[in-house]
C-alpha cells in the first residue's frame, strides 16, 4: 500500500554554483553551500551536473578522461560523508569511469547515513557545438530484468522524506524520460544541469532558449503530477567571445507547474518547501494517469513513424 | 525524400467562438468566421471541439445522443462544402455516431476540394465533474496494421501547404499523443478544445490552470519541433454559479514554444503566419529526435512501473 504523505512539508535545497579554479576550491565551495542548505532545514540537497569541474565538453580532450572517478572515488566519498554528517540526502553528479574506456555522466544519491541509495547514468547524451558529450559519455543502460534496483535506466529512489526521480540535463527535453521516471513512483523529478548561452546565439535566441528550458520542465511536473527541480550552474566558462555563459535560473515547481522558487544568474542556495499531499490532490483533479492509452503507445519505441 | 519547405509562410486561422442559442445560428456564425479567416488569407482553418453545439457533457443526458451525426452528416457536409468553396483546408470537430450505441468525439479535415483528408477520433477521454465525457464518447481506435490511413489512432494528414496532426482537448495533457503524432510527420499539432473555469475553482486555481494548459501545449512544440495550435471556445455555459466559463486564449506557437498569436476571452479569428523552415532549423540546433532512447522506452505501455 502506498502511504498517504503527511501534511508536513519537505524542505529541498538546490546548490547553484560557479566552478572554482581548482578541484579542491570547488569542492570546498560546494561543501559550504550544502552546509548552508542543511542549516536552513533542507532534507534533500541537489548539486549541479558535473559540479566538481568546469564543463569540459566544450572541446574533445583525451586528457580529461583522467579526471573521471569510480562510484567510490573521492568526489562521491567526500560528498557522501558530508550527507552522513549532516543527516541529509544529497544528489552527487560526477564524471564516472566504469571501466577502461567506458565513461558515464552519472549521479549518486547519498542517504542520511552516507550510504548510496541509488545510481543514475544520464540516458540521453547531447552533442552540439560546445556540448560535445558523445565523445565522453556512453548513454546510460536500459532497464533489464534482473538488474539490481537503481543500477540502470530510469529509476526512482526512496529517501526518508520523499521518492526522488533523477535525470540529468539533456534528459529534460524528453517527455518519455519524465514519464518513465514518474511511473517509478517519483515524488520529485530532479535535473542537475549545465546549460548556458553561446555568445553568438544569446542576442536573438537567448530569451527563447531559457523560456523553452523552463517550459519543458514545468510541463513534466504538469503531465506527471510531480514536483520538478532543475539545478543549473552559473558563470562564464571559456572566453566571452567563444565560451559558454551558464544561465543559472535553477527552479523548483509544484505538480501544477507553478514555480515555487527560482534563482537568478549568480551563485545561490535555493530553498523550497514541498507539500507532498499536493501530488495526490493534483492528480485527483486532473487524473491523467487514469486515462493513458497504454494500448496505443507502442510506436513510442520507433525511431520515426512515417513510411520512410 | 522529404521536400524542404519553401520559405513562403503558411497562414493559419483559428476560430474562437461562442455557441449560439440554436444549431443554425451557431453554424451561420461559424461560417462567417471561416469566411473571414479565408479572406484574411488563411489556408488552414481550425474550429473548436464540438463547435456546433453547447458543451453538453456538463450532465449525462441520453437525449443528447440524438444530436450525433455520421461522417457524412449535415455538419461535416456543410462545413466541407464551405472548405471547397473557399479552397481551404478546414478542421471540423463534431459529435460522431459511428453505430447504434457507439459514439466518438471526432474531427474531419476537409481539403480545399471539399473532400475528407482524414478523420481523427479523440483518444483520451476525460471524466471530471462537469466534463462527463466518458458517458458520451468511446475512446478513439488504436492503430492497427491494415487500417486505412487516418481511420484510427494517431495520424497526420497532408494538406497542400503543411501536414496537420490532429488531437482533441484532453489529448493535450499527454506527451505520448503529441510525440506519436509528430512522428507521423506533422508540421503542426492542432488541439480543438473546450476548457474553462468552474466558478468554485477559478479564484484560487484559475490562473494556474490556464498557465498549465498553455505550458503543456507549448512543451509539445518544443519537445517535437513542431508548431502547435490550440482552439478553445469562449462564453458562459450553464449558470454563473454552477456552469463553465470557457476561457478562450486560443494560441499558436512556433517550434521553440514562442507564442506567435494569442486570443483574449471573447470571440476572435486568430491568424498567424508559419514559416515551416523553422521546423528543420529548430531541430537542427536542438536535435532531440536524434537522441531518443527507443531501446529504453518500452515501459511507456505499462500502466505504472512500481512493483504494485
Least confident window among A109-113, A208-212, B146-150: B146-150
Predicted confidence (pLDDT) per residue in B191-235, tens digit: 999 999 999 999 999 999 999 999 999 999 999 999 999 999 999
A171/A153 Cα distance (integer angstroms): 12
User: Which pTM does this prediction carry?
Assistant: 0.96
On whether residue A33 sits in a domain, the answer given is yes
Predicted confidence (pLDDT) per residue in B84-132, tens digit: 999 999 999 999 999 999 999 999 999 999 999 999 999 999 999 999 9
Residue of A nearest to B126 (CA): A291
B50/B64 Cα distance (integer angstroms): 13
Query: How many domains in chain B?
Result: 1
A237/A177 Cα distance (integer angstroms): 29
Residues of A in contact with B200 (CB under 8 A): none
What CATH number should be reported for the domain holding residue B165? 3.60.110.10
Residues of B in contact with A174 (CB under 8 A): 223, 288, 291-293
Can you give the three-state secondary structure of B265-304, one letter per residue? CCCEEEEEEECCHHHHHHHHHCCHHHHCCCCCCHHHHCCC
What string of DSSP letters covers A207-238? HHHHHHHHHHHHHHHHHHT-EEEEE--EEEES
Residues of B in contact with A152 (CB under 8 A): none
HSE-CB of A49 using CA atoms within 13 angstroms = 32
Nearest to A215 among B126, B257, B298 (CB): B257
Helix (H) or strand (E) holding A281: helix A277-285
A155/A151 Cα distance (integer angstroms): 8
Angle, CA of B66, B68 and B73, to the nearest 5°: 120
Look at B175 and A175 and tell me if their CB atoms are within 8 Å.
Answer: yes
Helix (H) or strand (E) holding B222: helix B202-224
On whether residue A307 sits in a domain, the answer given is no
Helix (H) or strand (E) holding B220: helix B202-224
On whether residue A68 sits in a domain, the answer given is yes
In the sheet that holds A10-16, the strands lie side by side as: A116-121, A102-110, A89-99, A44-46, A10-16, A268-274
Predicted confidence (pLDDT) per residue in A97-148, tens digit: 999 999 999 999 999 999 999 999 999 999 999 999 999 999 998 655 555 5
User: Is B200 buried (19+), middle (13-18) or exposed (0-12) by CB count in 10 A?
Assistant: exposed
Residue of A nearest to B130 (CA): A285
On whether residue B308 sits in a domain, the answer given is no
User: In A149-276, which ranges are continuous DSSP H helix?
Assistant: 175-182, 202-224
Residue of A nearest to B259 (CA): A208
On whether residue B306 sits in a domain, the answer given is no
Q: How close B213 comes to chain A (CA, Å)?
A: 9
User: Which residues of B carry out catalysis?
Assistant: 49, 122, 169
On whether residue A308 sits in a domain, the answer given is no
Nearest to B291 among A170, A294, A302 (CB): A170
Q: Return the number of CB contacts < 8 Å for A and B.
A: 180
DSSP letter at B73?
Answer: S
Angle, CA of A58, A248 and B257, to the nearest 5°: 90
Residues of A in contact with B286 (CB under 8 A): 128, 173
On whether residue B3 sits in a domain, the answer given is no
Angle, CA of B78, B76 and B85, to the nearest 5°: 45
Domain that holds residue A36: 10-301
Assembly ipTM: 0.95
Residue of B nearest to A143 (CA): B296
For this structure, is A57 an active site residue? no
Predicted confidence (pLDDT) per residue in B230-272, tens digit: 999 999 999 999 999 999 999 999 999 999 999 999 999 999 9
On whether residue B307 sits in a domain, the answer given is no
Amino acid at each position: 500500500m502506498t502511504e498517504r504523505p503527511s501534511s508536513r512539508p519537505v524542505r529541498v535545497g538546490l546548490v547553484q554554483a560557479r566552478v572554482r579554479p581548482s578541484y579542491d576550491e570547488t569542492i570546498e565551495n560546494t561543501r559550504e553551500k550544502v552546509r548552508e542548505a542543511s542549516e536552513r532545514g533542507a532534507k534533500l540537497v541537489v548539486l549541479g551536473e558535473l559540479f566538481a569541474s568546469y564543463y569540459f565538453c566544450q572541446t574533445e580532450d583525451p586528457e580529461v578522461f583522467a579526471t573521471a572517478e569510480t562510484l567510490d572515488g573521492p568526489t562521491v566519498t567526500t560528498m557522501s560523508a558530508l550527507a552522513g554528517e549532516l543527516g541529509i540526502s544529497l544528489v552527487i553528479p560526477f564524471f564516472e569511469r566504469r571501466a577502461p574506456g567506458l565513461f558515464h555522466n552519472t549521479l549518486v544519491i547519498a542517504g542520511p547515513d552516507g550510504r548510496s541509495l541509488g545510481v543514475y547514468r544520464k540516458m540521453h547524451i547531447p552533442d552540439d557545438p560546445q556540448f560535445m558529450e558523445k565523445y565522453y559519455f556512453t548513454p546510460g543502460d536500459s532497464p533489464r530484468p534482473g538488474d539490481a534496483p537503481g543500477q540502470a535506466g530510469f529509476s526512482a529512489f526512496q529517501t526518508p522524506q520523499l521518492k526522488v526521480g533523477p535525470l540529468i540535463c539533456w534528459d529534460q527535453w524528453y517527455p518519455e524520460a519524465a514519464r518513465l521516471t514518474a511511473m517509478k513512483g517519483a515524488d520529485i523529478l530532479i535535473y542537475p544541469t549545465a546549460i548556458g548561452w553561446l555568445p553568438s546565439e544569446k542576442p536573438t535566441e537567448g530569451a527563447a532558449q531559457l523560456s523553452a528550458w523552463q517550459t519543458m520542465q514545468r510541463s513534466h511536473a504538469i503531465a506527471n503530477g510531480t514536483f520538478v527541480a532543475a539545478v543549473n550552474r552559473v558563470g562564464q566558462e571559456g572566453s566571452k567571445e567563444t565560451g559558454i555563459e551558464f544561465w543559472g535560473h535553477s527552479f523548483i515547481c509544484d505538480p501544477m507547474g507553478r514555480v515555487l522558487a527560482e534563482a537568478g544568474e549568480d551563485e545561490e542556495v535555493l530553498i523550497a518547501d514541498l507539500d507532498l499531499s499536493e501530488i495526490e490532490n493534483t492528480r485527483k483533479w486532473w487524473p491523467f494517469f487514469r486515462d493513458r492509452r497504454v494500448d496505443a503507445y507502442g510506436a513510442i519505441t520507433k525511431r520515426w513513424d512515417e513510411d520512410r
